[in-house]
Amino acid sequence: MVDITSVDFNKNNELVILDQTRLPGEEKYLTLESKEDVYVAIKKLRVRGAPAIGIAAAFGLYVDVRESEAETTDEFKEEVHEVAEYLKKARPTAVNLAWALDRMTDKLDSFDGTVAAAKKMLLQEARNIRQEDEDACRRMGENGLSLLSKGMGILTHCNAGTLATAKYGTSLAALYLGKERGYDFHVYADETRPVLQGARLTAFELSKADIDVTLICDSMANQVMKNGWVDAVLVGCDRMAANGDGANKIGTNGLAILAKEYNIPFYMFVPTSSLDLDTPTGDDIEIELRDGDEIYKMWYEKPMAPEGIKTYNPSFDVTPAEYITAIVTENGIVRPPYAENLRKIKEAGAQREEHGVMPALSGLTRKND
């Protein structure tokens, strides 16, 4: 497992992120000191991946308000809400951003104590979010690995690894656990244009972990499937709607359609923090549109298209639920009917948080079930 941390709140009480725009060439850490620093880091993908964005925003909220001079707790609460609303605007699609900030403000709203105690409480909540994500990723890895066999060929898209989360990753967690247990997977990493998270980040972290990884262009996925080299497709998710439609990095839907054609299982890894039951279907998910420069300028020495060319650069697409073979969460593996079973899995997680144990679930499977 690669020893690298995407977001950390360190011993010196600093919020530090690994600048992912510089990978794989340079491992440079940045200290974020204000809400503006955090907003820009998220918007410019210096920290990216749904869970990592949520964690950075939670610590970012604390870092921005820790010097607040609010005299009353009510005044402090108002200030914190304003900062949270500002940070939420950094990126629209990954629900973890709003989820983490709402969790911080909800906790504060029900808090009755001094301003100093409220600040401490916010820091603790951000730490909880980070730790829970690490635990969730490990459990998702276990659940995901139970769907795989030794020697399989795996196709993956974008980066749903340790860089996108607190640790382990969502879909890549299964590959790291497989590595520890001698599964000898052969991984095909889509480069994932336009920002190349597959090439720069997935190929980087898997090769560092000594996992067999072959980089392909996005347009080659069909060919490796046709060659019979892919036994399962593993992808992450930035926001899953209540009916099981899942938004993930642009190109994911096309892979799901191909996988169906070739009869290859398509697994989407979704921590319950990315499960948005208030959004009914994928059509209701806002898809981030990014600057066209990413398509023809950003990664090249000189522009690869005429200056000023018209561009269309959606960052995500939505894979309809019917193309997803199973949804892997930290609480278990969800099979259709998704609308019903996703609700059960979310409730099951809430019950565990409250009572410390998972209730028995019907129609869902967990590792060792």
Q: Which residues in this chain contact ligand MRU in the complex, by CB under 6 A?
A: 48-51, 158-160, 164, 170, 197, 236-238, 248-249, 315
Does 369 qualify as catalytic in the annotation? no
CB of 231 to ligand MRU, least distance (A): 20
For residues 49 and 244, which CB has a smaller minimum distance to ligand MRU in the complex?
49
**Rounded CA gap, 308 and 311, in Å?**
9
**Closest by CA position to 145, among listed 188, 190, 183, 189:** 183
Check 238, 245, 276, 317 and give the catalytic one: 238
- How large is the angle between the packed helices 95-109 and 50-65, nearest 10 degrees? 40
Torsion of CA 280, 40, 236, 201, to 10 degrees: 170
Outline where 146-226 has alpha helix (H).
Answer: 171-180, 197, 203-208, 221-226
Closer CB to ligand MRU, 122 or 321, in the complex: 321
Q: Shortest gap between Cβ of 57 and ligand MRU (angstroms)?
A: 13
Q: Looking at beta carbons only, is 73 or 320 nearer to ligand MRU?
A: 320
Residue 239's DSSP bridge partners are 247
Residue with tokens 């964005």: 53
- Tell me the H-state helices in the chain: 35-43, 50-65, 73-88, 95-109, 115-145, 171-180, 197, 203-208, 221-226, 252-261, 293-296, 338-355
Min dist CB 273 to ligand MRU, Å, is: 10
Q: How far is the CB of 274 from ligand MRU (least distance, A)?
A: 7
- Rank residues 65 and 171 by Cβ distance to ligand MRU and give the closer one: 171
So which residues are the catalytic ones? 238
